[in-house]
Amino acid sequence: MIISELCRRIGSLRLLPKVLHRNISYVERIRFLQQLKEYDTVCLSHLPSGKFLMYSQSKPLLRVSKASTKDALVWLTYSEVTEYYPQVLNSSVLLDMAEDGTPRYSVQVGALPTAVQEKLESSTGAVFSDLRLALFMVSWRDAHTLSRANCVLMWNRNNAFCGKCGAPTERNAAGYSRKCKNCNMTHYPSAIPVGIVLVTDPDHQNIVLVRQPRHPPGMYSCIAGFSDVGESLEDTVHREVAEEVGIEVSSVRYVASQHWPFPGSLMAGCFATAEKQELSLDQNELQDARWFSREEVSMALDRITANPHLRLRGNPSGELFIPPPGAIAYHLISHWMKGTPVQEIYQHIY
Ligand SMILES: [Zn+2]
């Protein structure tokens, strides 16, 4: 095994370069991260000085508080992780780099014995939390970190065999590529592009929102769908709107994007314009779709802003609401409602 061979050599390795432990520039961090992704010896030599986000059975260890989204992610040291899970080297993947230059990894530990899990949760004041729920309860930046960690861990699990010849593949130290032992093809993780669009009338007085059968009562969101092979983002938006609600749009404008871990999508948020006209639903995809006025959307926005957990509680009253701030749909709708300049949506997100 490549990793086990390299591990034996770590003792004689000089750390190159040293973890900096000071604020370093974005470019320095990205280039350091690039070395960690590409060179196994560099990645492994920094593992003992890294920080680790632990997943047990795809549930991240989080301090989830309804009062605050700060410090939700629990970052363990290498020695803390190995105390609970000695196989960390073969189960961790590189995530990103903290502003002080500390490399950060995520580690998938499987099912822990109950006593071990309780000790870990008690000592950190955290719990292993459902990922889908957690994404709506942490900051936007932390949601992206959770999403990336889950996707890279799952990608490694689902790509144990080569898609070209079927032989076993072997991961690199960072977990960011897998090489086929037979045909030497190297495989890399990637995101699936999705177009998500807020359709407005030309006067910006009404928008189209849709409701899928799986949505809790009262929740409506933007039209969204996967990009087809050979499509531009604009093509995807035109097609999805036509398929789902039976109208044609113009003036497709990209606004902002979000990574989403189910099933590993890059959600590209757009605006588009259509004359206010009757909608024709795709009954296989949607339960309902309607034009909503500014007044209706304003009340829906107020409801989810006052109660971001409405989605999780099932909304027994059935009153209209939209996805919470953890979803890009919220930002597209909020941005339209407030009429703020396009670039300000990034300030809300980041
Ligand atoms: Zn192969």
Q: Select the more confidently predicted residue: 65 or 244.
A: 244
Query: 259: domain range?
Result: 192-349
Q: How far is the CA of 226 from the centre of ligand 1 (A)?
A: 28
Q: Are residues 101 and 201 in the same domain?
A: no
The total of structural domains in the chain comes to 2
Spell out the residues 6+ positions from residue 114 whose beta carbon is closer than 8 angstroms to its own.
none
Q: How far is the CA of 260 from the centre of ligand 1 (A)?
A: 29
Instruction: Tell me whether residue 172 is in a domain.
Output: no
Q: How far is the CA of 187 from the centre of ligand 1 (A)?
A: 9
Instruction: Tell me whether residue 185 is in a domain.
Output: no
Report, as an integer, the average pLDDT of 329-340.
Answer: 89
Q: How far is the CA of 188 from the centre of ligand 1 (A)?
A: 13
Instruction: Tell me whether residue 187 is in a domain.
Output: no
Q: How far is the CA of 170 from the centre of ligand 1 (A)?
A: 11
Q: How far is the CA of 147 from the centre of ligand 1 (A)?
A: 28
Q: Are residues 125 and 210 in the same domain?
A: no
Q: How far is the CA of 127 from the centre of ligand 1 (A)?
A: 40
Q: Are residues 146 and 211 in the same domain?
A: no
Count of CB atoms situated within 10 Å of the CB of 321: 26
Q: Are residues 129 and 204 in the same domain?
A: no
pTM: 0.84
Q: b/e per residue, 276-304, with b = 16+ CB within 10 A?
A: beebebeeebbeebbbbeeebbeebbebb
Report, as an integer, the average pLDDT of 155-165.
Answer: 96
pLDDT in tens, 85-112: 888 877 899 999 998 899 999 999 888 8
- Checking if the pLDDT of 113 tops 80, the result is yes
With beta carbons less than 8 A apart as the criterion, state whether 275 and 202 touch. Answer: yes
Report, as an integer, the average pLDDT of 8-37.
Answer: 69
Q: Are residues 148 and 214 in the same domain?
A: no
Q: Are residues 9 and 135 in the same domain?
A: yes
Q: Pick from 133, 154, 175: which residue ends a domain?
A: 154
Q: Pick from 126, 154, 182: which residue ends a domain?
A: 154
pLDDT in tens, 187-230: 999 999 999 999 999 999 999 999 999 888 899 999 999 999 99
Q: How far is the CA of 40 from the centre of ligand 1 (A)?
A: 21
Q: What CATH number is attached to the domain comprising 312?
A: 3.90.79.10
Q: How far is the CA of 161 from the centre of ligand 1 (A)?
A: 8
Q: Are residues 150 and 196 in the same domain?
A: no
Mean pLDDT (the chain, rounded): 88
Q: Select the more confidently predicted residue: 20 or 1.
A: 20
Q: How far is the CA of 290 from the centre of ligand 1 (A)?
A: 49
Q: Are residues 26 and 143 in the same domain?
A: yes
Instruction: Tell me whether residue 165 is in a domain.
Output: no
Model pLDDT, residue 185:
98
Instruction: Tell me whether residue 264 is in a domain.
Output: yes
Report the run of H or E that residue 198 belongs to, with start and end. strand 192-200
Q: Are residues 216 and 130 in the same domain?
A: no
pLDDT in tens, 41-95: 999 999 999 999 999 988 999 997 665 667 789 999 999 999 888 888 778 999 9
